[in-house]
Structure 1
Amino acid sequence: MKYAYFTLVGLVLLFSNGCRDEATAVYTTEFAELDSIIGMMESDLKPLEGQIQELASQTEYLFDHQDRYAAMASRDEYKISDAGVIYRESADKSESSVHVSSISQNREEVFHQIYFTEALDSAFRTVYADTPLVAQVYFNTRLQLCRIYPSLDALQVFDTDADLTSFNFYYMADEVRNPEKKSKWVEDIYVDPAGRGWILSLIHPVYHQGQLEGVMGFDITINDIIQRFLKKSDKKLLIIDGSGNIVAGTNDAIEMLNLPPLRNHTYIQTINSDNFRKEDYNLFKSKSKEVRKMVAKFLLEKDNVYKMEDDFSSQKYTVYCRQMNLLNWYILEVKR
């Protein structure tokens, strides 16, 4: 009887270990595929940190040699609109656009800043040409100067009295939120005032004589992330941030989780403050109890596999989750 008992226990252990090994093998395959996508994303995104640091250093050099570079500027190109906005009037698409908000106080100082930062144009063109993932390059300053490339109709795109320093792509680089004074990813995506849709930004502060003078920025559209990384796979994929907001996703993954369809905001929208995803796109606020449980398991309990049953269709899914290293984002795969 004793031998029969140990034999039975041995068979149970053997069976359970076999099941665990089989499950691990399945999960390992799924995780390897998600890790591959993360690897591709980060191999494209990580080098941008070095590029923006170099560009910020070049800008600090311009601040150290302001008069020399201001003397080289095409001063006749800069005008003042009836609403008090300083802008650049040029038909040359190889040049950056300029917008200075009507709330800018010291016009003499800001014109001087416009003149010596004109030297950034060649560096902007190089970054844009050499880095397909970067949709636009810009430099925003405490004096309300925005210099941006590629060129656009600044008077039509930007609000007349916008305060650049009130937006996350500026204040996230300040000394309080970025005491290391290094490059920083703005992980809370927002709607681009230049009409390029939802945006992920990489920013870097520019200091002169101990003062934050401005913030250099690279913009990457979420649409490009979807096309470049998610749609190359036939998998049902979703990217969420550390708060449970959807960053990007394939339509089928979104539909399987009973979420509203994502729209790519390409219309020009004036930004009065930070613009984030609607509450409908936060998984913690999903109408589905199963989706809320799933995201809690992933983000709060740090699980990486969740088996769920659709609240409405009774279909069963398995969702796999991997966290990125560069950003506090998570990539999910939904499988039937």
Structure 2
Amino acid sequence: MKKIILKKLLFRNYLKTSLISILFIGSLLICAYFWTNKNIIDSSKDFLLKDANENTTKLINKEISTLRIKLHEVTSLLKILKAEHEFFFENIDKINYIEKEKIDINYNKNGAYYKQQDNGGSSVVFLSKEKLTNKMKEKIFKTENFDRSFKTIIEENPSIMAVYFNSYDNMNRYYPFIKDIYKVFSSDINLKDYNFYNQATLKENPMKSIVWTKPYFDPVKKEWIISCIVPIYNNGFLEGVTGIDVSLDSFTKNFFDFNLPYETLSMIIDKSGTILAMSKGLDNILNIKESKIKDKNRQINTTILRPSEFNITNHKVFEKLFTKNFYLKNSDSRIVIKNKEYIGFVNEIRINDWKVISLLPVQNLLSSVENLEEKHLKIGYFLISFIIVFYLLFLIFLYYKSKQFVESINISLRDMVRFTQKLVTNKPVDKVPFSGIYEIDKLAKNFNNLSLELTQRTQKLIQTEALKIANEKLANTDALTGIYNRRFLDDFAREFNCKPTTLSVVLFDIDDFKQINDNFGHDIGDKVIKKLINIIDTSVRQSDCIIRLGGDEFLLLLKDTKQKDAYIVVEKILNKIEENNKKENNNIVFNVSFGVCEYSSHHKSVNELIVEADKIMYKNKKSTK
């Protein structure tokens, strides 16, 4: 191939090709700029909307989990009270009085018998204009047994305001104690008419299950509450209703204390659409206000429910967004409230059909992208103006500088050739094709040599690193089973002790392993060990670690696993061992002892955790012999 001097080639074609290519590329870049900018902005908006949806949902679900735990805790406590109270009424004749001599029952002219003194228990009022019978007195005295549970629940649960029992014959036992409780109830009150009683009756609650009431105003505590109530039956007869009052403000405080991104607002609704609680500022957006209820006498004479404007079904703006069950109608969840666009999210609490509805302001989310779009447009217009002026000047400048420009390129290329020749001394590797230009061909030749040398060195480094990794793995592996050994455990313990996380350990020991070796030989003993490792390996996750501590002792590290879940894994392993032992013509029969322990604050290290598991294992071993 005939060689062409680069200097002549550039000089001859520079003017012609430069003008055409620069004009073409300039126009193409301008078009590409605006097209790319538009796509980036649109993609950014879509990404922000999706990301905001996912992140907001993730944050809300995290808080929902906390709220769900609180709700579940209340219902669990009420289940305990239900069992306790039903047992009480089934065996009331066998129940002893508690401190009867210290309880004085007074009568008020409004027709209420009440406990006057605070003996550390509940306040009691019997709303009856008839004379207090011995049976009524007996119920007052014997239900003092309830107070221990009531008091414990209140002391251990800050969000719970009160625990009480309302009987079918108008007796109210309420903790904490209310002085002069007869003043709280009107003279003609019938407890069965109020939501904290009637919603638990057979008519309203045929399943006799736990019920959450709608929000209502408590004139005693002067705040909005909800009650978790359950009927107490005695052989089919409704003895009364036990309930737990929860303050809406304190119960949902943590839920609304954290700041959602982009000033997102949320509200919790019940299955009827009534707003239980909401973020600050949402009331102004929906034009709803909680009217201040004043009652100097703190008297209960009617059930005060949320005003109708607190039900979202009364707001037409939500009709297009939600179905009757308050799910999103379609993927486009945007609504406009007061000329401001929002994106709606719905998350389920999964208890009592409660849901969380969130409204994310679109303007807050997209404002940064829109500002960026405006800046990019201004930059684009500036670039167009600049390119036009630049090309006019460039046409004049190009001719006079062409010779100088070509010479500068040629000098630079010659320098590059000399530089590559100094770096490489090995034989050439023909990878980059020759172009027919002398200097470029020379550069390609030297570059290929350099590339080959670098490739060989890289391969050597890779081989060295692979050998290092293999040696480390071999040092951390048990020769017989291929699982980790004590060296790996030491490394794991050092790392874990620096940054502890949730961890459960299971220590296994093969029962009578020495007898197996003595009676059947070490080959059978080795097979027993391998069989156990195979069973454990097929019963755990890939992230879990099996370690041979020595002889017939093995340690299983279950990361991010609670103790109760560790027992499930152990049960699976024991079942597989039992299945293996039942197989016909099977000479690999064995049993194991185990000890399970979860890392907690009193453990100073992994070794302490293993020692505790070892004690539990040997305790279990002794109990099975």
TM bucket by the smaller chain? Answer: 0.7 to 0.9
C-alpha distance in 1, partners of 2:223/2:130?
Answer: 27
The structure-2 alpha-carbon separation of the partners of 1:246 and 1:103, relative to structure 1 and needing over 3 Å to count, comes to farther
Map residues 146-185 of structure 1 onto 2, 5 A cutoff: 146-153=172-179, 154-185=181-212
Q: Which segments of 5 or more consecutive residues in structure 1 lack a partner in the other structure?
A: 1-15
> Which of 48, 52, 59 lines up with 2:74 in the alignment?
48
Assess if the C-alpha contact under 8 Å between 1:103 and 1:163 holds in 2: no
Q: Which moved more, 1:21-30 or 1:57-66?
A: 21-30
> Which of 135, 142, 154 lines up with 1:116 in the alignment?
142
Assess if the C-alpha contact under 8 Å between 1:56 and 1:206 holds in 2: yes
> Which of 311, 317, 320 lines up with 2:342 in the alignment?
317
Amino acid corresponding to residue 31 of structure 1 in structure 2:
T
Report deviation, 1:163.
Answer: 0.8
Q: Which moved more, 1:231-240 or 1:99-108?
A: 99-108
Amino acid corresponding to residue 212 of structure 2 in structure 1:
W
> Which of 77, 83, 90 lines up with 1:64 in the alignment?
90
> Which of 243, 256, 261 lines up with 2:289 in the alignment?
261
The structure-2 alpha-carbon separation of the partners of 1:282 and 1:196, relative to structure 1 and needing over 3 Å to count, comes to same
Report deviation, 1:203.
Answer: 1.1
Q: Which moved more, 1:164-173 or 1:266-275?
A: 266-275
Partner residue, 1:278: 307
C-alpha distance in 2, partners of 1:70/1:303?
Answer: 62
Q: Could you say which structure has the greater relative contact order, defined with CA pairs below 8 angstroms and 6 or more residues apart?
A: 1
The question of 1:247 aligning with 2:273 is answered no
The question of 1:334 aligning with 2:352 is answered no
C-alpha distance in 1, partners of 2:60/2:184?
Answer: 38
Partner residue, 2:38: none
Return the structure number with greater helix share.
Answer: 2
Amino acid corresponding to residue 148 of structure 1 in structure 2:
Y
Q: Which moved more, 1:26-35 or 1:175-184?
A: 175-184
C-alpha distance in 1, partners of 2:330/2:66?
Answer: 23
C-alpha distance in 1, partners of 2:356/2:73?
Answer: 21
Assess if the C-alpha contact under 8 Å between 1:201 and 1:217 holds in 2: yes
Assess if the C-alpha contact under 8 Å between 1:158 and 1:193 holds in 2: no
The structure-2 alpha-carbon separation of the partners of 1:73 and 1:175, relative to structure 1 and needing over 3 Å to count, comes to farther
Amino acid corresponding to residue 115 of structure 1 in structure 2:
F
Assess if the C-alpha contact under 8 Å between 1:102 and 1:161 holds in 2: no
C-alpha distance in 1, partners of 2:138/2:243?
Answer: 21
C-alpha distance in 2, partners of 1:116/1:138?
Answer: 15
- Count the aligned residue pairs: 315
> Which of 197, 207, 210 lines up with 2:223 in the alignment?
197
The structure-2 alpha-carbon separation of the partners of 1:298 and 1:165, relative to structure 1 and needing over 3 Å to count, comes to closer
- RMSD between aligned residues: 2.9
Assess if the C-alpha contact under 8 Å between 2:327 and 2:346 holds in 1: no
Assess if the C-alpha contact under 8 Å between 2:321 and 2:329 holds in 1: no
1:74-107 Cα offsets, whole Å, 9 max, x none, are 2542111122201111134x21001121357873
Amino acid corresponding to residue 163 of structure 1 in structure 2:
N
What SS class does the counterpart of residue 299 from structure 1 fall into?
coil
Percentage of matched positions with identical amino acids: 23
Partner residue, 1:26: 52
Return the structure number with greater strand share.
Answer: 1
Assess if the C-alpha contact under 8 Å between 2:184 and 2:300 holds in 1: no
> Which of 134, 138, 160 lines up with 1:134 in the alignment?
160
Amino acid corresponding to residue 217 of structure 2 in structure 1:
V
* Runs of 4 or more above 6 Å deviation: 16-22
The question of 1:220 aligning with 2:249 is answered no
Report deviation, 1:145.
Answer: 0.6
Partner residue, 1:9: none
The structure-2 alpha-carbon separation of the partners of 1:305 and 1:68, relative to structure 1 and needing over 3 Å to count, comes to farther
Assess if the C-alpha contact under 8 Å between 2:322 and 2:328 holds in 1: no
Map residues 228-247 of structure 1 onto 2, 5 A cutoff: 228-234=254-260, 235-247=264-276
1:138-183 Cα offsets, whole Å, 9 max, x none, are 0011010110101113122222221111112212222233333332
C-alpha distance in 2, partners of 1:19/1:335?
Answer: 14
What SS class does the counterpart of residue 100 from structure 1 fall into?
strand
Q: Which segments of 5 or more consecutive residues in structure 2 lack a partner in the other structure?
A: 1-41, 362-625
Amino acid corresponding to residue 283 of structure 1 in structure 2:
I
Q: Which moved more, 1:220-229 or 1:18-27?
A: 18-27
TM-score by length of 2: 0.46
Q: Which moved more, 1:299-308 or 1:122-131?
A: 299-308
> Which of 38, 43, 64 lines up with 1:38 in the alignment?
64
The structure-2 alpha-carbon separation of the partners of 1:25 and 1:37, relative to structure 1 and needing over 3 Å to count, comes to same
C-alpha distance in 2, partners of 1:79/1:303?
Answer: 63
Partner residue, 2:451: none
CA radius of gyration, larger in: 2
C-alpha distance in 1, partners of 2:293/2:266?
Answer: 20
C-alpha distance in 2, partners of 1:146/1:196?
Answer: 19
Amino acid corresponding to residue 35 of structure 1 in structure 2:
N
Partner residue, 1:144: 170
Assess if the C-alpha contact under 8 Å between 1:298 and 1:304 holds in 2: no
Report deviation, 1:112.
Answer: 1.8
The structure-2 alpha-carbon separation of the partners of 1:84 and 1:173, relative to structure 1 and needing over 3 Å to count, comes to same
TM-score by length of 1: 0.82
Amino acid corresponding to residue 261 of structure 1 in structure 2:
K
> Which of 206, 217, 230 lines up with 2:232 in the alignment?
206
Report deviation, 1:304.
Answer: 7.8
C-alpha distance in 2, partners of 1:18/1:210?
Answer: 63
Q: Which moved more, 1:214-223 or 1:298-307?
A: 298-307
Assess if the C-alpha contact under 8 Å between 2:308 and 2:314 holds in 1: yes
C-alpha distance in 1, partners of 2:330/2:134?
Answer: 57
C-alpha distance in 2, partners of 1:71/1:269?
Answer: 32
The structure-2 alpha-carbon separation of the partners of 1:296 and 1:264, relative to structure 1 and needing over 3 Å to count, comes to farther
Report deviation, 1:302.
Answer: 5.1
The structure-2 alpha-carbon separation of the partners of 1:68 and 1:322, relative to structure 1 and needing over 3 Å to count, comes to same
Q: Which moved more, 1:264-273 or 1:75-84?
A: 264-273
Report deviation, 1:291.
Answer: 4.1
Amino acid corresponding to residue 223 of structure 2 in structure 1:
G
What SS class does the counterpart of residue 37 from structure 1 fall into?
helix
Amino acid corresponding to residue 274 of structure 1 in structure 2:
T
C-alpha distance in 2, partners of 1:282/1:38?
Answer: 21
Report deviation, 1:265.
Answer: 4.9
Partner residue, 2:395: none
What SS class does the counterpart of residue 333 from structure 2 fall into?
strand
C-alpha distance in 2, partners of 1:331/1:305?
Answer: 18
What SS class does the counterpart of residue 31 from structure 1 fall into?
helix
C-alpha distance in 2, partners of 1:303/1:224?
Answer: 34
C-alpha distance in 2, partners of 1:95/1:38?
Answer: 34
The question of 1:86 aligning with 2:102 is answered no
Assess if the C-alpha contact under 8 Å between 1:83 and 1:102 holds in 2: no
